[in-house]
Amino acid sequence: MAHPVSAFQAAYISIEVLIALVSVPGNILVIWAVKMNQALRDATFCFIVSLAVADVAVGALVIPLAIIINIGPQTEFYSCLMVACPVLILTESSILALLAIAVDRYLRVKIPVRYKSVVTPRRAAVAIACCWIISFLVGLTPMFGWNNLNKMQRTQELNASHTEFVIKCQFETVISMEYMVYFNFFVWVLPPLLLMLLIYLEVFNLIRKQLNKKVSSSSNDPQKYYGKELKIAKSLALVLFLFALSWLPLHILNCITLFCPSCETPHILTYIAIFLTHGNSAMNPIVYAFRIKKFRTAFLQIWNQYFCCKTNKNASTTMAEPGN
């Protein structure tokens, strides 16, 4: 028989569903905006679309799977592992998309004249494909053997085959903390975040150097170009800051779990950290809407064309019918 859902689990599920209901439509709106607006077709926005796809998948796939893991059903070991791996894939995809965005912004200010010949649509597509391939390899590493199966079998002194090994499905039960800390965090999360920090510091340094130069006013004023670049770079750096703020607490808790097994971590802190990681997928569309004018214009255009005007037309038709 299935165990009844506790009040705490019900609250957890409600918050997760709320995050998903914000994240999925918001990021679909981002993808829609890039698709319909010609001004959002350069490499940066292609990488933003890749990031939005990962965020849609978090809301549509990872959050439902996280709810299943929270309930903790009895399942076969590798089935549980398949439920736990998607979040690892999508986290890595988001990090690599953010890294690609940072590199792209650096090239825009470092080589503005040659940028379009260097960052072609084909190269941007190859970069996005490489990001996703690496993400799948990193995220599926536990499926290739770096997991807790042998440890659990030794602990429980079982000699059953893999297919017969049934467990209560929870993330820490199947995913190795050594993998999460040494491989996932120390290799594929922390170094890219530090690299992005250095890249954005250099981007701001280059932009400020250009803005401090005295230039003659013209239609192709470099100050106008670099002023726009500075504003976009600040917005994208904010996206990076929110990502780091959302994901570092959970990785720090993982480090505490690995390096201090006797330390008791309050469950409420773990849940807050999980909410932060999932909630991050809902933050980016809000940042784009408030900070990037092209996105704000595209969002308003979509609203007016597909929602607002359609509502007005339906209302007008309804009002006109009685008079016919």
Quote the Cα angle for 266-24-267, to 5°.
5
Domains of the chain, by residue range, sit at: 7-302
Per-residue pLDDT of the chain (324 residues; tens, 9 = 90+): 455 667 888 999 999 999 999 999 999 999 999 998 888 888 889 999 999 999 999 999 999 999 999 888 899 999 999 999 999 999 999 999 999 999 999 999 999 999 999 999 899 999 999 999 999 999 999 999 999 998 887 777 655 544 457 888 999 999 999 999 999 999 999 999 999 999 999 999 999 988 887 554 444 567 788 888 999 999 999 999 999 999 999 999 999 999 999 998 898 999 999 999 999 999 999 999 899 988 999 999 898 888 876 555 554 444 444 444
What is the pLDDT at residue 319?
A: 42
Contact 235, 291 (CB under 8 A): yes
Phi, psi of 158 (to 5 degrees): -110, 145
What is the pLDDT at residue 51?
A: 96
Encoded amino acid at 229, one letter: E
What is the pLDDT at residue 164?
A: 58
Which token pair is 324?
Answer: 């016919």
What's the topology of domain 7-302? Rhopdopsin 7-helix transmembrane proteins (1.20.1070)
Choose among 11, 22, 8: nearest CA to 283.
22
